[in-house]
Amino acid sequence: MKNKIALEEHFSIEGMEKYTSDVMNAPTFADVMRRLVDTESLRIEAMDKAGIALSILSFYSPGIQAETDPDVAVAAAKKANDFLSEKVIARHADRYAGFAAVPMQNPEAAANELERCVKQLGFKGALINGYSNIHNENTIEYTDEPKFEVFWAKVAELNVPVYLHPRDPLASQQRIYEGHPELLSAAWAYGVETSTHALRLITSGLFDRHPGVNVILGHLGETLPFGIWRVEHIIKRRGMCQDLKKNIMSYLADNFFITTSGVFRTQTLLNTMLEVSSDRILFSTDYPYESAEEAATWFDSCSISEHDRAKIGRENAAKLFNLKTAAESVNTNGSLIHN
pLDDT at 26: 62
Q: Can you name the residues that pair with 54 across neighbouring β-strands?
A: 5
What is the pLDDT averaged over residues 144-168? 98
pLDDT at 20: 78
Kindly list the catalytic residues: 286
pLDDT at 297: 98
User: Rg of the chain's alpha carbons, rounded to an integer?
Assistant: 19
pLDDT at 30: 86
Render 231-299 in DSSP notation, one character per residue.
HHHHHHHTT--TT-SS-HHHHHHHHEEEE-TT---HHHHHHHHHHH-GGGEE----TTTS-HHHHHHHH
CA distance 116 to 109: 10
Would you say residue 324 has pLDDT above 90?
A: no
Question: Is there a contact between 216 and 240 (Cβ–Cβ < 8 Å)?
Answer: no
CA distance 4 to 335: 9
CA distance 109 to 74: 7
Please state, as a whole number, how many other Cβ atoms lie within 10 Å of the Cβ of residue 26: 11
pLDDT at 22: 59
Per-residue model confidence as pLDDT tens digits over 85-103 = 999 999 999 999 999 999 9
Averaged confidence pLDDT in the chain: 94
Q: For the chain, give me the number of helices (H) and strands (E)?
A: 13, 11
Which helix (H) or strand (E) segment holds residue 40: the answer is none
- Closest of 18, 130, 115 to residue 65, by C-alpha: 130
pLDDT at 23: 57
Per-residue model confidence as pLDDT tens digits over 184-228 = 999 999 999 999 999 999 999 999 999 999 999 999 999 999 999
CA distance 12 to 286: 14
Which CATH code is given to the segment(s) 4-320? 3.20.20.140
Is the full-model pTM beyond 0.75?
yes
- pLDDT over 70 percentage in the chain: 93
CA distance 174 to 167: 12
- Closest of 161, 168, 299 to residue 217, by C-alpha: 161
The sheet carrying 4-11 orders its strands as 4-11, 52-59, 96-98
Would you say residue 310 has pLDDT above 70?
A: yes
pLDDT at 24: 57
Length of the chain (residues): 339
- Please, is 136 exposed, middle or buried when counting C-beta atoms within 10 Å of its C-beta (0-12, 13-18, 19+)? exposed
CA distance 282 to 219: 10
Domain extents in the chain: 4-320
pLDDT at 329: 45
Per-residue model confidence as pLDDT tens digits over 238-291 = 999 999 999 999 999 999 999 999 999 999 999 999 999 999 999 999 999 999
